[in-house]
């Protein structure tokens, strides 16, 4: 049977309130009594119920990590980095999948509140309605949002900037003599990838072309991204290869593009330069090595750690803002 505070109190012939305060280091319990209680608690194998403590308004030493764990990009490496840094502060993490759906995120936040979770880290997508979840934030001691589009919010925010990396990829295409760059990406949200790509092409003098996008269907719960990309290429380009450079919305789409181009008798990068997105661990091992866009996960994880524990220690400080710029990683596939 699990040892309780009342068991320790009976052993020491003191009240359970004294034991509770001694275990928390709260006044007016003397240091001598704190050490005596802690010694007996250790001998009796006492383990505090941190969930019950949280339901009473205390700390559960728990941080919720709410991410979309599948879809166009799996953030599993980033989630693990963040969890590892949080554990170093003697907190535990609870990971949940939002599927990038607002109603799912609402249910998760309500559940975390019932469980007394101290803080949350939330990955948002442009399709989510921030107005529907902002009210939940007051129930947590700290909230850190990760988003790719600037937004107004009362909590701490890390902004992921894709634009500089996309501009760098376009510049590489143009500077290496490519005349017909295109992008393979889902139609929404346009502002994440398609618009920066198109605008940079315009700035580099590609003014009189039709929109250089090959659009493919998108689903936050989707798997089989390579198959989706292949289908889009087959549909948009049934008779020819109308591009000599291709920026793909994911590395999986780039792998499909490799195979599709091979089926059309084209070589990467001789005939078509290809760049992926997310800089997956396998990118540099492909043949040819896949150029990609790196999300700077280590920097994001470090910022989450800093913001989270600064907020827990300084709850009344102004909301923090930070921007992380993704980077273009040139490899053989880009020419």
Read off the pLDDT of each residue in 306-321 and give the average, rounded to a whole number: 95
- pLDDT of 215 reads 78
47-80 CB burial, b ≥16 within 10 A, e <16: eeebeebbeeeeebbbbbbbbbbbbbbbbeebbe
Q: Can you read off the two tokens belonging to residue 218?
A: 């998108």
- Tokens 């902004």 locate to 159
CA distance 92 to 312: 15
Give 41's pLDDT tier (boundaries 50, 70, 90). confident
Q: Can you read off the two tokens belonging to residue 110?
A: 């309500």
**E strand segments, the chain:** 62-67, 92-97, 119-123, 142-147, 156-161, 181-185, 213-215, 245-248, 273-275, 292-294, 321-325, 327-329
Minimal CA–CA distance to 150: which of 124, 183, 178, 187?
A: 124
Say yes or no to pLDDT of 27 above 80.
no
- pLDDT of 199 reads 94
List pLDDT tens digits, range 46-91. 776 655 555 555 678 999 999 998 766 778 999 999 999 999 988 9
Instruction: Give me the chain's average pLDDT, please.
Output: 90
- pLDDT of 224 reads 73
Taken in order of first residue, the domains within the chain and their CATH numbers are 5-48 (1.10.260.40), 62-161+297-325 (3.40.50.2300), 163-294 (3.40.50.2300)
List pLDDT tens digits, range 273-304. 999 999 999 999 999 999 999 999 999 999 99
List pLDDT tens digits, range 148-201. 988 899 999 999 999 999 999 999 999 999 999 999 998 877 888 999 999 999
Read off the pLDDT of each residue in 269-276 and give the average, rounded to a whole number: 98
């Amino acid at each position: 049977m699990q040892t309780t505070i009342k068991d320790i109190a009976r052993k020491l012939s003191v009240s359970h309130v004294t034991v509770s305060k001694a275990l928390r280091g709260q006044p007016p319990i003397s240091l001598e009594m704190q050490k005596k209680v802690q010694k007996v608690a250790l001998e009796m194998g006492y383990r505090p119920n941190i969930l019950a403590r949280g339901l009473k308004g205390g700390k559960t030493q728990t941080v919720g990590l709410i991410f979309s764990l599948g879809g166009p990009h799996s953030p599993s490496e980033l989630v693990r980095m963040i969890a590892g840094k949080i554990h170093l502060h003697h907190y535990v993490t609870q990971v949940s999948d939002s599927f990038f759906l607002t109603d799912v995120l609402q249910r998760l936040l309500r559940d975390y509140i019932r469980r007394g979770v101290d803080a949350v880290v939330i990955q948002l997508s442009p399709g989510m309605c921030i107005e529907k979840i902002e009210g939940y934030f007051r129930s947590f001691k700290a909230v850190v949002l990760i988003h790719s589009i600037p937004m107004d919010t009362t909590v701490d925010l890390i902004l992921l900037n894709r634009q500089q990396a996309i501009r760098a990829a376009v510049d590489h295409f143009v500077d290496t003599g490519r005349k017909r760059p295109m992008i393979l990406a889902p139609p929404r949200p346009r502002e994440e990838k398609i618009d920066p790509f198109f605008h940079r092409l315009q700035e580099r003098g590609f003014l009189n072309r039709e929109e250089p996008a090959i659009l493919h269907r998108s689903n936050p719960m989707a798997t089989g991204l390579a198959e989706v990309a292949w289908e889009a290429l087959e549909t948009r380009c049934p008779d020819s290869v109308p591009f000599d450079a291709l920026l793909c919305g994911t590395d999986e789409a780039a792998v499909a593009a490799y195979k599709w181009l091979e089926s059309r008798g084209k070589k990467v990068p001789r005939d078509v330069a290809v760049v992926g997105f997310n800089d997956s661990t396998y990118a540099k091992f492909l043949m040819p090595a896949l150029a990609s866009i790196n999300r700077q996960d280590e920097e994001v994880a470090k910022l989450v750690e800093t913001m989270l524990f600064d907020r827990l220690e300084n709850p009344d400080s102004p909301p923090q803002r930070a921007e992380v710029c993704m980077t273009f990683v040139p490899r053989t596939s880009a020419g």
